[in-house]
């Protein structure tokens, strides 16, 4: 069973014909994690708010992305770590219980039902209408329900677009005929395919290859780039690739898929070099694009299908009157759930502040700017081993013209890491701005490194001088001792 089977159409409740009013202070298009946060902050600011959602309240993160994917991956990580510790590995006598993993995944999606999320909106006094929204004029939105009923809504102050993103479709002949999985299908499937071919070497491709290989699939990864996870430091992709291959995954980089065809139960992918890859299912994980193609953007002079360019107050540029806002993936600033929620909090606060006439020249107003998604974006890849990064990598820093130095550390030599698992294999790196003597980027790869990331994020966002970081003493013996070793390597 795939995502399409589990939730083929929106629930019948909260249709357009059920609305009691058609004018609100703020209309939020999309009630995923980003839209929920915009709505909540605007409502807390004293405004009336309506959220429009075409699918499930809670969005991709709750039902097809963050929660189900990490629910699939956590048992993989836990079992892998147990097998790396002498005394524990002897107690591991079998493989993952696939049925139990799936049941746990399903529990985190609430069985693909959004009742609790709808109840939360109600508790926040945020109105909801289900249907597809399109802009029809200045502060005007038309919503079409699943039954074809329509309503035209008016926002007194602002419309916030939070419709997210969807899987990109690469130009592969025949791809639309083979029933390929999108990321949604990969996180919601009820059983593992015998042979899974994955197109894409980014976050989704790596995470889903990790999960389904552990759940019984024979996985082949095809990445167009020369390395996996190319947006991180090269050391990350190398270690993740080695781990995937050690578990039986076939990884091919620097290859391009040209055609796809289905022969019965088999999907064949032909590469540009003529090689043919045979599998039972195909997952296309070739990036994300804003879900803005059918939103009525042309009505307000914007390009359908494109990301909505915003200023740091999340106000969309190029729209007269300044009433249109955007946050999350559809704004294209940093396509990560936590960054969408960060933008959303600022967006909702800004809308409320402007609508209620609070002065814009106050110290509080200066905090209402989304700046973290320029140079301080944190990200975790829940592979085995996991990887985590924040800020600029070495190549990006050099491209900016910064005079930087990469400080590296073998994580396995840190006492806390060696105690965490036997034969700990990991790497850490800091990109240091030599002129300002601050950390502008940090990357970690190895077991449990996700919990190192927020300290690095604070250092980057706070522009903490490395001479001050020397006095932030890590507890012994923890993996965080890597900070001391990195600073020692720098020369402190």
β-strands 378-381, 387-391 pairing: antiparallel
What is the C-alpha to C-alpha distance for residues 260 and 269, in angstroms, rounded to an integer?
A: 5
The tokens describing 97, both together, are 């219980």
The reply to whether 175-286 shares the fold of 3-58+114-166+289-372 is yes
- Pick the range with the lowest mean pLDDT from 2-6, 437-441, 451-455: 2-6
Across the chain, mean pLDDT equals 94
pLDDT band at 357 (very low <50, low <70, confident <90, very high): confident
Give CA angle at 1 (338, 133), nearest 5°.
50
Structural contact between residues 306 and 140, judged by C-beta atoms closer than 8 angstroms = no
Q: Is pLDDT above 80 for 139?
A: yes
pLDDT at 368: 77
β-strands 387-391, 438-445 pairing: antiparallel
What is the C-alpha to C-alpha distance for residues 106 and 108, in angstroms, rounded to an integer?
A: 5
pLDDT band at 227 (very low <50, low <70, confident <90, very high): very high
Tell me if the domain spanning 385-490 has CATH number 3.30.390.30: yes
Structural contact between residues 53 and 33, judged by C-beta atoms closer than 8 angstroms = no
What is the C-alpha to C-alpha distance for residues 211 and 202, in angstroms, rounded to an integer?
A: 14
pLDDT band at 147 (very low <50, low <70, confident <90, very high): confident
% of residues, the chain, pLDDT over 90: 91
% of residues, the chain, pLDDT over 70: 96
The stretch 427-431 carries a mean pLDDT of 98
- Alpha carbon dihedral 357, 334, 62, 387, in 10-degree steps, equals -140
Q: Is pLDDT above 60 for 1?
A: no
What is the C-alpha to C-alpha distance for residues 334 and 344, in angstroms, rounded to an integer?
A: 12
6: Cα separation from own chain's centroid? 22
Residue-wise pLDDT tens digits, 406-417:
999 999 999 999
In order, the DSSP letters of 150-185 are EEEEEEEEEEEE---EEE-----BTGGGTT-B-HHH
Q: Is pLDDT above 50 for 294?
A: yes
Q: Kindly tell me the sign of the dihedral angle through the C-alpha atoms of 474, 479, 480, 482.
A: positive
Q: Is pLDDT above 60 for 362?
A: no
The stretch 1-23 carries a mean pLDDT of 71
What is the C-alpha to C-alpha distance for residues 327 and 340, in angstroms, rounded to an integer?
A: 6
What is the C-alpha to C-alpha distance for residues 299 and 357, in angstroms, rounded to an integer?
A: 28
CATH class of the domain whose range is 3-58+114-166+289-372 = alpha beta
How many CB atoms are located within 10 Å of the residue 419 CB? 13
The stretch 189-218 carries a mean pLDDT of 97
Residue 462, classed as helix, strand or coil, is: coil
Q: Is pLDDT above 80 for 78?
A: yes
Which among 26, 126, 36 is positioned nearest to 351, based on CA atoms? 26
Q: Is pLDDT above 70 for 340?
A: yes
Q: What length is written for the chain?
A: 492
Residue 265, classed as helix, strand or coil, is: coil
Q: How far is CA 132 from CA 5, 41, 292, 301, 348, in A?
A: 20, 23, 12, 20, 22
pLDDT at 361: 52
β-strands 266-271, 257-263 pairing: antiparallel
The stretch 360-384 carries a mean pLDDT of 82
pLDDT band at 359 (very low <50, low <70, confident <90, very high): low
What is the C-alpha to C-alpha distance for residues 421 and 162, in angstroms, rounded to an integer?
A: 42
The stretch 74-99 carries a mean pLDDT of 95
Q: Is pLDDT above 60 for 3?
A: no
What is the C-alpha to C-alpha distance for residues 117 and 269, in angstroms, rounded to an integer?
A: 40
> Which pTM does this prediction carry?
0.94
Which residues, listed in sequence order, are joined to residue 380 by a DSSP beta bridge?
Answer: 388
pLDDT at 20: 87
What is the C-alpha to C-alpha distance for residues 459 and 349, in angstroms, rounded to an integer?
A: 26
Q: Is pLDDT above 70 for 4?
A: no
What is the C-alpha to C-alpha distance for residues 485 and 458, in angstroms, rounded to an integer?
A: 18
Q: Is pLDDT above 50 for 142?
A: yes
Q: Is pLDDT above 90 for 13?
A: no
Which among 472, 475, 471, 481 is positioned nearest to 414, based on CA atoms? 481
Q: Kindly tell me the sign of the dihedral angle through the C-alpha atoms of 183, 188, 192, 194.
A: negative
Q: Is pLDDT above 90 for 386?
A: yes
Q: How far is CA 392 from CA 335, 373, 405, 443, in A?
A: 16, 11, 12, 9
Which among 336, 323, 319, 321 is positioned nearest to 370, based on CA atoms? 336
The stretch 420-436 carries a mean pLDDT of 97
The stretch 27-53 carries a mean pLDDT of 97
Q: Is pLDDT above 90 for 59?
A: yes
* Domain 175-286, CATH: 3.50.50.60
What is the C-alpha to C-alpha distance for residues 173 and 155, in angstroms, rounded to an integer?
A: 44
Which among 69, 62, 6 is positioned nearest to 31, based on CA atoms? 62
pLDDT band at 8 (very low <50, low <70, confident <90, very high): very low
Domain boundaries, the chain: 3-58+114-166+289-372, 175-286, 385-490
């Amino acid at each position: 069973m795939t995502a399409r089977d589990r939730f083929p159409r929106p629930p019948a409740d909260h249709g357009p014909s059920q609305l009691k009013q058609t004018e609100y202070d703020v209309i939020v298009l999309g009630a995923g994690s980003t839209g929920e946060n915009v709505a909540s902050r605007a409502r807390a600011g004293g405004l009336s708010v309506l959220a429009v959602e075409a699918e499930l309240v809670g969005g991709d993160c709750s039902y097809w992305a963050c929660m189900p994917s990490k629910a699939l991956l956590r048992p993989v990580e836990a079992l892998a770590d147990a097998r790396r510790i002498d005394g524990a590995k002897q107690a591991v006598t079998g493989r993952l219980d696939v049925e139990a993993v799936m049941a746990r995944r399903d529990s985190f999606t609430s069985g693909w039902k959004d009742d609790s999320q709808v109840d939360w909106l109600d508790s926040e006094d945020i109105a909801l209408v289900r249907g597809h929204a399109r802009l029809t004029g200045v502060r005007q939105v038309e919503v079409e329900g699943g039954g074809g009923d329509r309503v035209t809504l008016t926002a007194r102050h602002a419309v916030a677009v939070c419709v997210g993103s969807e899987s990109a479709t690469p130009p592969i002949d025949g791809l639309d005929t083979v029933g390929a999985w999108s990321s949604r299908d990969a996180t919601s499937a009820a059983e593992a395919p015998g042979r899974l071919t994955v197109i894409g070497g980014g976050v989704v491709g790596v995470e889903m290859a990790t999960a389904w290989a552990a759940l019984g699939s024979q996985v082949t990864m095809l990445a167009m780039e020369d390395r996996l996870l190319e947006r991180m430091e090269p050391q990350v992709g190398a270690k993740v690739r080695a781990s995937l291959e050690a578990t039986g995954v076939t990884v091919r980089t620097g290859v391009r898929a040209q055609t796809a065809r289905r022969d019965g139960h088999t999907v064949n992918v032909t590469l540009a070099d003529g090689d043919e890859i045979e599998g039972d299912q195909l997952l296309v994980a070739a990036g994300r694009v804003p879900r803005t193609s059918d939103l009525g953007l042309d009505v307000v002079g914007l390009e359908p299908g494109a990301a909505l360019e915003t200023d740091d107050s999340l106000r969309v540029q190029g729209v007269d009157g300044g009433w249109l806002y955007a946050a999350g993936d559809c704004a294209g600033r940093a396509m990560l759930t936590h960054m969408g929620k960060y933008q959303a909090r600022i967006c909702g606060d800004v809308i409320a502040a402007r609508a209620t006439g609070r002065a814009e020249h106050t110290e509080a107003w200066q905090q209402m700017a989304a700046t973290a998604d320029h140079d301080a974006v944190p990200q975790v890849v829940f592979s085995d081993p996991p990887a985590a990064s924040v800020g600029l990598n070495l190549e990006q820093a050099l491209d900016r013209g910064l005079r930087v130095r990469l400080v590296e550390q073998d994580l396995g030599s840190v006492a806390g890491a060696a105690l965490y698992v036997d034969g700990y294999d990991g790497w850490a790196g800091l990109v240091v701005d030599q002129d300002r003597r601050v950390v502008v980027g940090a990357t970690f790869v190895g077991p449990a490194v996700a919990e190192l990331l927020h300290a690095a994020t604070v250092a980057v966002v706070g522009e903490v001088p490395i001479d001050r970081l020397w006095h932030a003493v890590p507890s012994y013996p923890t993996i965080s001792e890597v900070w001391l070793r990195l600073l020692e390597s720098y020369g402190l």
